């Protein structure tokens, strides 16, 4: 059994909207107060405040005269907000995320309800303190006999109401396939496949750039705090929502197709966070959404029993000749086709890279090599063996040559 969320749009009544907005406002207030208390305790008294302490604070806040409105909403979303804050601090201390930020009203809001705060009866959802069910637009049915464990109601900045239902489902493994594929990510072509196919980048943000710029200029002219500014802000948010929806739709269709057709999928382990520091390419890289594409491939391969391999980011997939294994010293980004100086084979840069990624991915999956080596391993220096000993790193050979401890190719013995 796996947990899977199903997201739907719904249209609340005026009473439900008032209650939900009030609940989200209270959850935002509690989250921000707890974040301020934890920050103050650390910087002023060097004390660490965790979830139990903030939960006690919430109890005391509800007794204050100026915070009596916290008792008018369900306590579950408030407690869930404190748990999410604890998770944010855990990720921060582990180095996986930045320091938590305060939530802002104009960014929309969300409220999470666990089983104690909702009822799922006859295919309808009743939230706490609301006698009427949510008017959900069921674009697809929930799995049969599925029982929701968590329900998250979200209001986007564009004014769209959505509900995300988390259920435990049994996901069927896809029939085994004999094909494998290597994927090279790019900008002009979003992906180049080792089969020779190139899939163009839809460039969702670029297609809406002029429309978005006009809406943002209108927003900048509106007086702060006015209703006209609020309307202009929602218009900008709607354009951003259109861009996001188009991008996600394209990526889901593409990744689902690749997972269905191939048993093994190999990609490069790219550090997008560092790549977007290049000011000339940051816009195009962000618009391509490489990280989301890789994330979808990874979890879908896990769901449907496929093999997903990430190749070391230092592997010279573009510079290596897929025919003889020769590695050129320099290959600028503007060079899209090149001839191997050794065997004179003509290469398309992206297709050649995808073929090398596939070959390296198959070698990794068969040999069980470390697909994410550390800084020393990627430079061909040292690695740890299975028994904990330190040994030289053997370079992966794509063309059949034998690797040696220095990472240089040797000719096969006759």
Q: Pairing relation of β-strands 390-392 and 382-384?
A: antiparallel
Answer whether residue 18 shows pLDDT above 70. yes
Q: Tokens representing 264?
A: 């093994």
Among candidate residues 313, 304, 320, the one with its CA nearest the CA of residue 265: 304
Nearest Cα to Cα of residue 201 among 250, 144, 234, 239: 250
Supply the pLDDT for residue 369: 55
Check pLDDT > 70 for residue 338. Answer: yes
Question: What is d(CA 366, CA 370) in angstroms, rounded to the nearest whole number?
Answer: 11
Query: Does 139 score more than 50 pLDDT?
Result: yes
Residue 350 a catalytic site member: yes
Q: What percent of the chain has pLDDT over 90?
A: 68
User: In the predicted model, what is the mean pLDDT of residues 168-185?
Assistant: 92
Residue 250 banded pLDDT, cuts 50, 70, 90? very high
What pLDDT, on the 0 to 100 scale, is given for residue 374? 42
The per-residue pLDDT for range 193-214, each reduced to its tens digit, is 999 999 999 998 988 999 999 9
For 59, 115, 136, 167, 169, the CA distances from 149, given in Å and listed in that order, are 25, 6, 17, 6, 11
Element (H, E) at 291: helix 290-304
Q: Which helix (H) or strand (E) holds 361?
A: helix 349-367
**Each residue of 357-392: pLDDT tens digit?**
999 998 887 766 554 444 443 343 344 444 444 343
What average pLDDT does the segment 236-255 reach? Answer: 95
Residue 124 confidence (pLDDT) above 50: yes
- Weakest mean pLDDT among 53-57, 252-256, 401-405: 401-405
Catalytic residue among 112, 184, 312, 377: 184
Q: Which residue has the higher pLDDT, 145 or 369?
A: 145
Range name among 4-13, 61-70, 258-267, 403-412 with the lowest pLDDT average = 403-412
Q: Any residues with CB less than 8 A from the CB of 92 and at least 6 apart, and which? A: 98, 99, 100
Catalytic residue among 112, 312, 350, 377: 350
Least confident of 29-33, 65-69, 403-407: 403-407
Euclidean distance between CA atoms 318 and 368, whole angstroms: 23
Residue 183: predicted pLDDT:
95
**C-alpha distances in Å from residue 204, one per residue of 22, 159, 213:** 35, 21, 14
- The number of CA neighbours under 13 Å toward the Cβ of 412 is 8
How many Å apart are CA 370 and CA 377, to the nearest integer? 9
Q: Which of 390 and 128 is assigned the larger pLDDT?
A: 128
Select which of 268, 287, 312, 377 is catalytic: 268
| 339 catalytic residue (yes or no) | no
Contact criterion met (CB below 8 Å) for 83 and 128: no
Most confident region among 62-76, 276-290, 354-368 by mean pLDDT: 62-76
- Confidence at 278, pLDDT banded by 50, 70, 90: confident
- pLDDT of residue 236 exceeding 60, the answer is yes
- Over range 281-300, report the average pLDDT: 93
Rounded mean pLDDT, 121-130: 93
Rounded CA separation 321/343 (Å): 9
pLDDT for the residue 409: 42
């Amino acid at each position: 059994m796996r947990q899977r969320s199903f997201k739907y749009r719904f249209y609340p009544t005026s009473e439900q909207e008032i209650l939900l907005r009030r609940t989200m406002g209270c959850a935002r207030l509690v989250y921000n107060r707890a974040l301020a208390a934890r920050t103050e305790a650390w910087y002023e008294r060097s004390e660490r405040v965790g979830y139990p302490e903030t939960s006690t604070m919430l109890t005391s806040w509800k007794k204050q005269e100026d915070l009596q409105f916290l008792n008018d909403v369900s306590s579950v979303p408030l407690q869930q907000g404190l748990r999410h804050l604890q998770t944010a601090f855990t990720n921060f201390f582990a180095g996986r995320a930045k320091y938590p930020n305060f939530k802002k009203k104009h960014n929309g809001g969300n409220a999470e309800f666990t089983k104690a705060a909702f009822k799922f009866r006859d295919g309808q959802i009743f939230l706490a303190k609301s006698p009427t069910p949510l008017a959900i637009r069921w674009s697809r049915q929930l799995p049969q006999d599925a029982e929701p464990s968590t329900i998250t109601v979200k209001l986007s900045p564009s004014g769209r109401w959505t509900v995300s239902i988390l259920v435990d489902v049994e996901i069927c493994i896809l029939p085994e396939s004999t094909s494998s594929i290597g994927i090279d990510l790019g900008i002009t072509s979003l992906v180049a496949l080792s089969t020779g196919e190139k899939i163009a980048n839809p460039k969702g943000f670029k297609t809406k750039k002029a429309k978005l710029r006009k809406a943002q200029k209108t927003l900048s002219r509106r007086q702060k705090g006015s209703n006209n500014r609020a309307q202009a802000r929602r218009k900008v948010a709607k354009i951003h929502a259109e861009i996001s929806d188009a991008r996600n739709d394209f990526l889901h269709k593409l990744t689902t197709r690749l997972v269905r057709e191939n048993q093994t999928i190999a990609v490069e382990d790219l550090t997008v966070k560092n790549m977007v520091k290049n000011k000339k390419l940051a816009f195009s890289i962000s618009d391509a959404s490489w990280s989301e594409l890789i994330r979808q491939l990874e979890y879908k391969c896990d769901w449907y029993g496929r093999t997903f391999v990430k190749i070391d980011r230092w592997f010279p997939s573009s510079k290596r000749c897929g025919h003889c294994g020769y590695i050129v010293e320099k290959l600028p980004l503007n060079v899209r086709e090149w001839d191997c100086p050794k065997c004179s084979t003509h290469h398309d840069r992206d297709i050649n890279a995808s073929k090398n990624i596939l070959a390296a991915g198959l070698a990794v999956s068969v040999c069980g090599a470390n697909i994410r080596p550390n800084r020393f391993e990627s430079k061909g220096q040292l690695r740890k063996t299975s028994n904990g000993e330190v040994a030289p790193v053997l370079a992966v050979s794509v063309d059949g040559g034998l690797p040696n401890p220095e990472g240089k190719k040797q000719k096969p013995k006759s």
